[in-house]
Amino acid sequence: MSVKVKRKLWIFAAFIPLRIRYNNKSVGTLYGSQEVEIPGKDEGELKYHQPIGRDDQLKVKAGDVVQIEETMFGKVLSTLLILFFLYLTLSIFEVIDFTSYSNYEQLLSAERIALGGLLIVALIGFFFKTHKLVLLNT
């Protein structure tokens, strides 16, 4: 018997690798919607490790199926980061342009403040737990 670990895909899941450790030994890295099978006949501790952020751990035994899912907090933060980059792209290609308005200087300063705050919140989110281990065969 073995332990199967799956990863559920969300927006940025394909870009952030998660290293899987079983009983403090590295057993693989998951990107996107991949899965890994860990051979073993006994009980052990399964952990994942993000490059930045907090890890999660779970006691598993042979035959268990575990899924790595993004938390709601992680989903919100990755959505904010995507919106930030989308807005920057639209601004670079001048799809969004405030210069036609009479108060464009005030709009530009409000835009800088809003985008700066959005970027700070999204980047700070990388230091919090954004994934969780879920046992599927209960």
> Average pLDDT for residues 7-34, to the nearest whole number?
81
Separation CA 9–CA 12 (nearest Å): 8
19 sits in which H/E element? strand 18-22
Q: What is the reported pTM?
A: 0.73
With a cut of 70, say whether residue 53 has pLDDT above it: no
Tell me what pLDDT residue 107 has. 84
Q: Which residues contact 126 (CB under 8 A, 6 or more apart)?
A: 52, 53, 77
Q: What does the pLDDT look like over 83-122, one tens digit per residue?
A: 888 888 988 888 887 777 888 888 888 888 988 888 787 7
58: pLDDT strictly greater than 70: yes
Which residues sit opposite 68 in a β-bridge?
A: 7, 133
CA–CA separation, 46 vs 61, rounded Å?
Answer: 10
